[in-house]
Structure 1
């Protein structure tokens, strides 16, 4: 029964609304366009693009410390329907067994993180001879986190109540924290060059973001003592009997999601379940020892920077991202309640058929006889605030190596969206129309080692930061996949003395030697 509830929540959160990953194979690229701004808004200035249009992009990732994927075929084969015939039924359907998940049982609390973001239409435009840039970005972000789950409760969530070895066993002092979020993000970025002193180059950037909350389900089971019993008259039916239940839980109603709109009243007014503001801020330093050699001639005389070429030997970036919060305070759509019960019972009658999240929370409310709508109250969700820094080294020609460190700054408040702390090294080969990279990282707050592969071919981006998860290498504990489609417009070079050529912004060509 509890499993049914969690499956519905997970299903709705992952497929309809998670948690944003870092696109490690792409975000350090000089041709990432608007995708680089989510890591550091300073990348807007001195862009390789005069205009960059992001058409669509999406990523999906999950990671946990409880289950390992142990099927005889890969997850990639599963989603592409390319599983061999011997693992299919007579009707051609792919065979799936519970044993394809290998448990990791060590008595420690379990966690599960899933999510990503849909990167919608966005644009980056450079002006004032590439000295400044502005960008408008849109995203739909989604996240699910189950943390601090007692191992016994994690097993109940996985198997449900019909596993014999879990029945008639007293579970005490059980805990679990669940937080799911779905929200729309609108961003406005400004980037500019602070200093261009030949070999030393500084730029900065800031993004202001409007957050619109459309979906949230959260629960904090602080202490629970319960047992799974079997009905005496019908051994096919189980129920959970709790002798202690102390928890807080809340949710947005189904209307909060179904009334999703893109009009100004919903995005900036009070018609959504929640809203808030956030910001990113970043700086970039580039060391350019060969800046003079990378200049080209212009029709007005002199030698000028070529805006289509990278000029640094190494680049150091630092940024603070996702500072802010979403306040779910529209009492028409939000419900939240504390419970501390000496006993409670969750019956098969209420949980047998749950077509939606709304039906699931109603079943919980009826089981413990509470009515959150009678006294509605709101809550605040902190954005996944993090600090990141990177070092990008230009080895030679089109070869680069990037080191990225992302450190999450959110505490233990389960309502807040917790960012993934990551340490990654990514070698890459990049040109205007082709790029390939192989990120090697420690993810899941430095717990899991992964290798990835990403490519940019023309206007198409495709990649994964967890190749083992897609190909079923070494019983992986997660997976990651992202793709994008974009349209780049590069700076024009003069074809002759009569062609238009904008005077570059650097002062070096006029400096006295």
Structure 2
């Protein structure tokens, strides 16, 4: 009956396994080598120098058929049939999962990579779409008639062991943004596997359908549909000596972890040379995100048997079923085998994991974890996890962590648990709180383990000088940070410590910051008495060059007028102007009489009436071409005489006046007289007379000096006059 009992258990059992074992514990940054099973990238840049797991186990049991109060259920008089709450449906499940973490260890290859080796034993059973009425009917030794329309169902059970090798390294580290990745390769040893699949299965149970004689009856079972039954080669062996089947395979896990480190500078120690050390004992992230895919692979059972039966039969007695030696005997005795083949692959429960961890402080965190199966429940001979979403607040420190996972699990609903890590011990449950407080608990789990953790230590500072030993040039002697932890010395023995000695290798006085007095400007005057250290100068002027205070090119020692700009020829003093006429005495012909610059400091002569008559005598002889303003060349000599007279009176101003006779229009005469006056002015200016002294104006025929009725009179009226302009 061992095989029949096992078959019945398989039919009524469905592993809705936890998406991950050790719920709560694996969110801890101090879970060490154990964390490799959820994401292999976790082991690099961890808080461990090395971590050795001795043994750990995680057990889960759950269903969506029975609901009970666990505290009541452990009592001797508890009746599951009457006191539990049942929820029969067409898809009832029962779950049992065992995950044993054997000896495992991890260590760091260097600052950027780590390695882990682990052993692990696991078991899964998956059953889909089992009618709950089947479970209820099997529980009763004597039951009423019933008919179950089971339809299609699938059952898969698998146990195996793993030997895993993980490698992880840092992929990116630019201070604020940090990324690491990891890969696990696993050698798999199958421990045993069996599965069954049914199509269009119905079960008709008649409690008194078989007459055994003497008024005694027993139940009879009528069935229809097709059932495929597969098992590894030793499954039906009644010999209890167990040997591992010839079934091996390979698996893999891959994962990445990103950390956002906005305060990364707080975790870096730097000395005065610029050498730095990153604190290895501290978590540095504000937000950590993890992505991984686990359990990629399968185990091949070459010697397995896969048989398909048509179970269309009626009237099979319950007694015959009980007397069958095993499942194979039962199927072959009462049903028809329609096909048979050898060998199958048992696929691992491949899953995708997303993890987000937020750090409130250095010790308070909250974690969001999602585990999603990448295997369909309809896939043949495949283990499958149930989808899980967990929110886990936790307190975390090096030697102690405490966590409260809150989970929603596919087929089991909400669960609340608690976990504890205290040094080498870890223990907890993802469901303990809900189990202890609910009257309709449908699942429970527990885990525990022992390990030898070797944590990253806090950087040492033996001499307590504030410089960690790894950056301290003198780790046993206290010294200031700006001297790399070493006390200041006195290399040149001048009693001035090197930190304030400007010349460490050469003795000098304290007043010169430990340097000997030099002669920076090379003027043979030492800098301590040299008033002008960087500029050469004579000793009699305290090492400074003689100045030129007024900037006149005469050094103060030779300058008779130090603060007044002068000239070399006058010993640095400016020339005087005795009469104040603006002409310096050296240029003033009349030193004591106010004169003009133009007349070399002497007063200018007055333009007399005689001079005025002479000018006009000459001016009236200036000849022009008829009807034009052009001066005839024969007038040049006259103009030169006029220039001589004007130069004798350099400040006097004159008006050049142009006049015409009355022949022609007034407008034309006005324009002609004005042009002739300006022609004379231009000639004089071109010959050196200051234009400022001359004014040109035409009067046309408005100022005749003789009658225009006569030819002689008109000739007199055609004239140019040069008259003094009185201020």
The interval holding the TM-score normalised by the smaller chain is 0.7 to 0.9
Aligned residue number for residue 710 of structure 2 = none
- TM-score scaled by structure 2? 0.58
Q: 1:122 aligns with which of 88, 104, 121?
A: 104
Contact kept, 8 Å, 1:56 with 1:120, in 2: the verdict is yes
Q: CA deviation at 1:149?
A: 0.8
Aligned partner of 1:430 in structure 2 is 396
Contact 2:171/2:180, CA 8 A, preserved across alignment: yes
- Bigger radius of gyration among the two: 2
Q: What is the alpha-carbon distance in structure 1 between the residues aligned to residue 335 and residue 187 of structure 2?
A: 38
Residue of structure 2 in register with 1:44 after alignment:
43
Matched, 1:305 2:278: yes
Structure 1, residues 402-426: CA drift from partner, whole Å, max 9, x if none?
1111111111214211112111111
| Cα distance in 2 between the residues matched to 1:110 and 1:12 | 8
Work out whether 1:154 is the aligned partner of 2:135: yes
Give 1:413's match in structure 2, choosing from 345, 368, 379: 379
Structure 1 stretch displaced more, 109-118 or 414-423 = 109-118
CA distance in 2, matches of 1:459, 1:213: 31
Aligned length: 459
> What secondary structure is seen at the aligned counterpart in 1 of 2:93?
strand
**Higher relative contact order, chain-length normalized (CA < 8 Å, sep 6+):** 1
Residues 9 and 480 of structure 1, relative CA distance in 2, 3 Å threshold: same
Q: Deviations over 1:51-109 (max 9, x none)?
A: 100111111112322221246625xxx3xxxxxxxx44xxxxx655432432113x442
SS in 2 for 1:377: strand
The residue number in structure 1 matching 2:449 is 484
2:1 counterpart of 1:22: no
Match of 2:121 among 123, 131, 140: 140
Is the 1:454–1:463 contact (alpha carbons within 8 Å) kept by the matching residues of 2?
yes
Q: CA RMSD in A?
A: 3.3
The structure 1 segments of at least 4 consecutive aligned residues displaced by more than 6 Å after TM superposition are: 10-14, 234-237, 298-301, 497-500
Instruction: String of CA shifts for 1:397-453, please: whole Å, max 9, x gaps.
Output: 3000111111111112142111121111110001111100001111126x6111111
Paired residues of 2:275 and 2:471 also in contact (CA < 8 A): no
Q: Which residue in 2 is equivalent to 1:508?
A: none
How far does residue 289 in structure 1 lie from its aligned partner after superposition? Answer: 1.4
Deviation at 1:477, TM superposition (A): 1.2
Name the counterpart of 1:443: 409
- Residue 338 (structure 1) aligned with residue 308 (structure 2): yes
What is the distance in 1 between the residues matched to 2:316 and 2:249?
36
Equivalent residues of 2:221, 2:318 under 8 A apart: no
Q: Distance in 2 between matches of 1:345 and 1:308?
A: 72
Contact 1:351 1:363 in 2 (8 A): no
Q: 1:211 to 1:451 in 2, by over 3 A?
A: same
CA–CA distance in 2 between the matches of 1:187 and 1:346? 49
1:277 maps to 2:254 = no
Question: Mean alpha-carbon deviation: is it higher for 203-212 or for 57-66?
Answer: 57-66
Per residue, is there more strand in 1 or in 2? 1
* CA distance 1:370–1:459, shift in 2 (3 Å): farther
Supply the distance in 2 between the matched residues of 1:125 and 1:322 (Cα, whole angstroms). Answer: 23
Does 1:368 find its partner at 2:341? no
Unaligned runs of 5+ in 1: 79-86, 89-93, 262-271, 504-513
Choose from 384, 402, 427 the match for 1:462: 427
Contact 1:470 1:480 in 2 (8 A): no
2:5 aligned with 1:4: yes
Q: Is the 8 A contact 1:295 1:303 kept in 2?
A: yes
Question: Could you tell me the TM-score, scaled by structure 1's length?
Answer: 0.80
Paired with 1:322 and 1:232, the residues of 2 have a C-alpha distance of 53
